[in-house]
């Protein structure tokens, strides 16, 4: 299993970030698409690839489009030009699970105290880079039917 990090974003619930060793964009995109397909297969009432909010039916948008050349992504500690100056901030899965934080929890005014309290949660990200190879193989096996509950593998 790949280790992953999370961060808030003022307009979205959470971004999931996986620190990787150098990996071609095509491989990352195929992996993201495979994971999304598996999520949709297992949780069709919860997740979707539908970009338009009107077409999501309340489901969570799995945005695999950030994994291609030229795609933009907001860096950690980015401030949005919105009321209250919300900030995209690294957070822990435990904070998310407890409901302690949300998309607008961190602001320009509160970030200094946040970093003083918990530090930079991504300061060691470059040391935690990992290979995508084993995870890509797991996705291939899942897509082939191996490993799905109730199916032969």
Give residue-wise pLDDT tens across range 19-38: 999 999 899 999 999 999 99
- State the pLDDT at residue 109: 96
**C-alpha 23: how far from chain center:** 17
- State the pLDDT at residue 6: 83
**Residue tagged 């032969």 (tokens):** 152
Q: Which CATH class is domain 5-143?
A: alpha beta
**C-alpha 103: how far from chain center:** 13
- State the pLDDT at residue 48: 95
| pLDDT beneath 50: ranges in the chain | 152-153
Q: Contact at 8 Å (CB) between 35 and 143? A: no
pTM value > 0.85: no
**C-alpha 51: how far from chain center:** 16
- In DSSP terms, 151 is beta-bridged to none
Contacting residues for 110 by C-beta, under 8 A, at least 6 apart: 87
- State the pLDDT at residue 43: 95
- State the pLDDT at residue 150: 52
């Amino acid at each position: 299993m790949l280790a992953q990090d999370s961060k808030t974003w003022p307009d979205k619930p959470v971004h999931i970030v996986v620190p990787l060793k150098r990996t071609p964009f095509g491989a990352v995109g195929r992996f993201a698409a495979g994971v999304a397909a598996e999520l949709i297969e297992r949780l069709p009432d919860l997740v979707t690839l539908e970009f338009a909010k009107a077409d999501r039916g309340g489901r969570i948008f799995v945005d695999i489009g950030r994994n291609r050349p030229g795609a933009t992504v907001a860096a950690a500690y980015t401030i949005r030009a919105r009321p209250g100056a919300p900030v995209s901030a690294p957070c822990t899965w435990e904070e998310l699970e407890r409901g302690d934080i949300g998309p607008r929890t961190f602001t320009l005014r509160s970030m200094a105290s946040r970093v003083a309290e918990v530090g930079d949660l991504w300061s060691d990200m470059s040391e935690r880079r990992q290979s995508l190879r084993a995870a890509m193989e797991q996705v291939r096996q899942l897509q082939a039917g191996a490993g799905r509950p109730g199916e032969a593998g």
